[in-house]
Chain A
Amino acid sequence: MAEPKASTELKEPKELQVLANTQQMLCARFSPAGDVLAAGGMDGQVHRWKSGEKDFTPLPPLPARKSWLTDLAFHPDKPILFSGDSWGALRCHEGMDGEARQVWELEKAHEGWLRQVAADAQRVVSGGRDGAVRVWTHAGKPLAEWKGEEEIFCVTLHPDGKHVVFSDLKGRVRVWDFAAKKIVREMDASFFYRYDRIQDICGLRRLVWADGGKTLVAAGCVPTNGATMQAVPTVQFFDFASGKPGQKIQHGKETDGMIHDAMWHPGGHLIAVTSGQPGTGGVLFLRPGEDKPFYTSGKLANCQAVALHAPSHRMAVVATNRGSNGNGRPPGKDGEYPNNNSPVHVFALPAAS
């Protein structure tokens, strides 16, 4: 992908293109080369766009599934995509930059909702509602399993390749040496959890590595209410070596909801997207040591996912159409009951960021 000339002149993200689609998306990632953007969600498909000189153009989507596509992870060096779905399947596709084909599928990788997938050059890790965290080879062979009582919401592989870090419904973050099959450290992020009336609310939604793995960033929200989901977007930094909590940043109001997705920019800051009550949400750039985001944008509603390709200074934000909510909404003019959709906004980032 050509280096965007404008990026060195930008002071803040500049929207380049909106990739319209008819469905609601939940996850998005760039391929390692940055030439393909993949996104998926409630229609069970992996949608793809190929970058050109100026624009992203659609590639044929991968075959639809009946489940939700819940998370995506690219191989760090190759156009190989691992994806998980809400019915527990884990899949691997290669050739994502062209004629993609499914290499393997584990239909029962988890019992029910597979929430997150992460991959490094050697392995894939997945976590789900069944309370299991599983490590797989790139060929889909099981390597290790950890099973607990609570639902797993977040999983990530440490850059050292030895540890899987995951968090559960109640905000317990565990560092797992999967080869030795033991938990080597726990980190307390339980303030991300709330029990409201009879609802367990998990506010911790994404674990991100910073500083080459020295720092773990836990992103999500501190919930104040269930049902309508009142919550304040929140980030907690942890020192990975000691497990000690560092800085905690909260930004916004209770209606701003939660950070649904986040990525670490090699320039030294976190890019997070938020979704709160319908119509609210946005993009935050947070730098450790500062108590407020140095960039915020509330122009996009209900952002569900962010994809970053730092070398090409590209960011894609999966947002939601305006006016997405409504009680007892009548059918549209065509008599059909309208669904919502997730426009994908592609931005050029300032070179410095």
Chain B
Amino acid sequence: MNPPRCTPWEHDHTRRQWLGGVGGALACGALGGLLTPVIGEELKKKEKQVLFVWLDGGLSQLESWDPKPGTDFGGPFRSIPTSVPGTHVCELMPRLAKQMHRLCVVRSMCTKDNSHSAGVARIQRGDPKNRGVIYPFFGSAIAKLMGPTASNLPPYVWVKPGSGGFKPEDGGFLGPKYGALAFGDGKPPENLLRPATLDVAADAARNELRSALNQRYAQRRRAPNTEASSFVFDTAEELIRRADIFDTSRYNPRDIERYGRHDLGQQMLIGRKMLEAGVRFVKVNSYGWDTHGDNFNAQASLVGKFDQAFSAVLEDLAATGQLEHTLVVAMSEFGRTPRINGSAGRDHWPEAWSIAMAGCGIKAGAVVGATNAKGTFVQGEGYDIGHMFHTWFRALGIDPAKVEYSNNGQPLPIAHEDMKAIPGTLA
């Protein structure tokens, strides 16, 4: 087993100190690529975590968080009251309506990309100013800024439908080490678990040999790739020990029903188990939200399942007290057009959409921002994804004004420097 890695909170240097040369002699690697890692011991104790629910393709804000019944583009559904007096959501979310007192909804998102190809990555990377580098996804950023929890499980895990494996590209300029370990269809990467024919001692001997070979190999190769490789193996070892996390046969049958037997429900439940086990950042992904056709029947089916799974995880995190130190976010790359196309669908609409959050550092029961009466545009100030990154970092106790990345010595802000946290969203 490798010695514990250098984590950001073990360093308490200010940027001024660093630039003044105190840290000059320290290799970037010693600071894990952070110029000013000011995250302290307190944060480590609380083991702050993140659940990031990604509805790929674009959840319709009008059929979820920002209903406009009875208006030109309002669609066929009614709105229903929630546990927050005066706040309504779409009737497709009856369970989440009861969780509204735990949620904070931003209804005034106004972002730039209206294509998936650009939007998915730009949104999840926080769309910072162009610095000539590829920024990390939010999960990778947290893996870098906060590292694994004391559980030493992988810091960034992605539970998703389809294929799994290690996704180094999420790490951007931080390097492949900060990529996502993806559990395709909620299952661990192929060959991760120790085969029954291999006993613990033999496995340990093999790992020792691998480690030695890795070190020799690393001396002649670029560090980021070999570091990533070793890192994945190390964290995989922990996962092997915690195989119960993704052994759904051991789950409470009642939970399986509560979350829903569909992919999103089951993968949300696995996500919760990962959080309980101590994974720092869990992304739960659902595909198929790009409802250009038959939007209303589609949303009725999709949002119903989201309502079931997301409300169940909120309930459980709240019941165990874990919500207090877990930031929960549910979002897509954009919303959907108010205008209904000829195929009874809604197209891509970054101009005015909604994001829901809960938990750690987030003001519960808040609705921030608004769209106009028809839901076509934001009324008042619109917020970009950079604002959200500031909000989330601050909710986790990371001050974007003080913490910076280091790209081989080049200081880079962790969030768009022209933006700030959204007023009214933080507790």
CA distance A302 to B345 in the complex (A): 11
* A window 64-87: CB within 8 A of B: 66-68, 70, 86-87
Residue pair A325, B341 in contact (C-beta under 8 Å): yes
Stretch at the interface among B40-48, B123-131, B296-304: B296-304
Residue pair A198, B290 in contact (C-beta under 8 Å): no
Q: Is A294 an interface residue (CB 8 A)?
A: no
Stretch at the interface among A51-59, A134-142, A225-233: A225-233
A9 CB to closest chain B CB, in angstroms? 33
CA distance A113 to B77 in the complex (A): 7
Q: Is B203 an interface residue (CB 8 A)?
A: no
A328 CB to closest chain B CB, in angstroms? 4
Q: Is B167 an interface residue (CB 8 A)?
A: no
Chain B residue numbers with a CB within 8 Å of A42 are 72, 76, 340
Residue from A199, A200, A338 with most neighbouring chain B CB atoms (10 Å): A199
Residue pair B338, A337 in contact (C-beta under 8 Å): yes
Instruction: Across the interface, name the chain B residue whose C-beta is closest to A42.
Output: B340
Q: Is B147 an interface residue (CB 8 A)?
A: no
CA distance A257 to B341 in the complex (A): 14
A-B CB contacts (within 8 Å), total count: 144
User: Given that A227-B57, A320-B342 are known contacts, is A196 also in contact with B77, CB under 8 Å in the complex?
Assistant: no
Chain B residue numbers with a CB within 8 Å of A326 are 337, 339, 341, 347
CA distance A325 to B346 in the complex (A): 8
* A window 266-294: CB within 8 A of B: 275-279, 281
User: Given that A229-B292, A339-B72 are known contacts, is A327 also in contact with B348, CB under 8 Å in the complex?
Assistant: yes
Within 8 Å by CB of B341, from A66, A113, A340, lies: A340
User: Given that A198-B286, A227-B288, A228-B290 are known contacts, is A327 also in contact with B349, CB under 8 Å in the complex?
Assistant: yes
Residue pair A321, B342 in contact (C-beta under 8 Å): yes
CA distance A279 to B341 in the complex (A): 9
Residue pair A198, B338 in contact (C-beta under 8 Å): no
Chain B residue numbers with a CB within 8 Å of A304 are 344
Residue pair A200, B301 in contact (C-beta under 8 Å): yes
Residue pair A325, B347 in contact (C-beta under 8 Å): yes
Residue pair B287, A197 in contact (C-beta under 8 Å): yes
CA distance A340 to B342 in the complex (A): 8
Q: Is A314 an interface residue (CB 8 A)?
A: no
Residue pair A328, B290 in contact (C-beta under 8 Å): no
B208 CB to closest chain A CB, in angstroms? 43
Q: Is B305 an interface residue (CB 8 A)?
A: yes
Chain B residue numbers with a CB within 8 Å of A175 are none
Residue interface mask A134-160, B partner, CB < 8 A = 1: 000000000000000001000000000
User: Given that A198-B301, A337-B377 are known contacts, is A227 also in contact with B339, CB under 8 Å in the complex?
Assistant: no
A87 CB to closest chain B CB, in angstroms? 6
Per DSSP, chain A at the interface is loop
Chain B residue numbers with a CB within 8 Å of A129 are 300
A198 CB to closest chain B CB, in angstroms? 5
Q: Is B173 an interface residue (CB 8 A)?
A: no
Q: Is A301 an interface residue (CB 8 A)?
A: yes
Residue pair A324, B78 in contact (C-beta under 8 Å): no
User: Given that A87-B78, A227-B288 are known contacts, is A278 also in contact with B342, CB under 8 Å in the complex?
Assistant: yes
Within 8 Å by CB of A112, from B91, B297, B376, B377, lies: B91
CA distance A70 to B291 in the complex (A): 20
Chain A residue numbers with a CB within 8 Å of B287 are 197
Residue pair A68, B76 in contact (C-beta under 8 Å): yes
Q: Is B293 an interface residue (CB 8 A)?
A: yes
Instruction: Across the interface, name the chain B residue whose C-beta is closest to A341.
Output: B342
Instruction: Across the interface, name the chain A residue whose C-beta is closest to B92.
Output: A112
CA distance A81 to B69 in the complex (A): 25
* B window 359-400: CB within 8 A of A: 374, 376-377
* B window 251-306: CB within 8 A of A: 262-264, 286-294, 297-298, 300-302, 305
Chain A residue numbers with a CB within 8 Å of B350 are 328
Residue pair A70, B76 in contact (C-beta under 8 Å): yes
Residue from B69, B78, B374 with most neighbouring chain A CB atoms (10 Å): B78
A270 CB to closest chain B CB, in angstroms? 22
CA distance A151 to B301 in the complex (A): 10
Instruction: Across the interface, name the chain B residue whose C-beta is closest to A338.
Output: B339
Q: Is B161 an interface residue (CB 8 A)?
A: yes
Q: Is B70 an interface residue (CB 8 A)?
A: yes
Residue interface mask B66-95, A partner, CB < 8 A = 1: 000110111111100000000000010000
Q: Is A45 an interface residue (CB 8 A)?
A: no
Instruction: Across the interface, name the chain B residue whose C-beta is closest to A129.
Output: B300
Q: Is B17 an interface residue (CB 8 A)?
A: no
Within 8 Å by CB of A66, from B70, B345, B349, lies: B70
User: Given that A198-B288, A200-B301, A229-B292 are known contacts, is A337 also in contact with B376, CB under 8 Å in the complex?
Assistant: yes
* B window 223-265: CB within 8 A of A: 262-264
Residue from A24, A229, A279 with most neighbouring chain B CB atoms (10 Å): A229
Q: Is A216 an interface residue (CB 8 A)?
A: no
Within 8 Å by CB of B348, from A197, A278, A324, A328, lies: A328
Instruction: Across the interface, name the chain A residue whose C-beta is closest to B77.
Output: A86
Chain A residue numbers with a CB within 8 Å of B300 are 113, 129, 151
Q: Is A202 an interface residue (CB 8 A)?
A: yes
Residue pair B305, A198 in contact (C-beta under 8 Å): yes
Residue pair B341, A328 in contact (C-beta under 8 Å): no
Chain B residue numbers with a CB within 8 Å of A277 are 292-293, 343
Residue interface mask A198-220, B partner, CB < 8 A = 1: 11111000000000000000000
User: Given that A66-B69, A86-B77 are known contacts, is A275 also in contact with B344, CB under 8 Å in the complex?
Assistant: yes
Q: Is A329 an interface residue (CB 8 A)?
A: yes
Residue pair B342, A227 in contact (C-beta under 8 Å): no
User: Given that A198-B301, A227-B293 are known contacts, is A339 also in contact with B339, CB under 8 Å in the complex?
Assistant: yes
Within 8 Å by CB of A227, from B114, B290, B340, B341, lies: B290
Chain A residue numbers with a CB within 8 Å of B69 are 66-67
User: Given that A228-B293, A327-B115 are known contacts, is A278 also in contact with B345, CB under 8 Å in the complex?
Assistant: yes
User: Given that A227-B57, A328-B348 are known contacts, is A302 also in contact with B264, CB under 8 Å in the complex?
Assistant: no
* A window 172-194: CB within 8 A of B: none
Residue interface mask B190-202, A partner, CB < 8 A = 1: 0000000000000
B206 CB to closest chain A CB, in angstroms? 38
CA distance A202 to B300 in the complex (A): 12
CA distance A278 to B350 in the complex (A): 20
User: Given that A277-B343, A328-B349 are known contacts, is A227 also in contact with B289, CB under 8 Å in the complex?
Assistant: yes
Q: Pick the 10 closest A-B CB pairs, nearest first.
A: A229-B293, A302-B342, A66-B70, A86-B76, A320-B342, A328-B114, A197-B288, A327-B348, A324-B342, A325-B341
Give 13 pairs: A residue, B residue, CB < 8 Å, sorted on A.
A24-B340, A42-B72, A43-B72, A68-B76, A226-B298, A276-B293, A278-B343, A325-B292, A325-B343, A327-B337, A329-B337, A339-B339, A340-B342
9 further interface pairs, Cβ-Cβ under 8 Å (given A70-B76, A337-B338): A199-B298, A227-B288, A227-B293, A227-B298, A228-B292, A258-B294, A320-B341, A325-B292, A326-B341
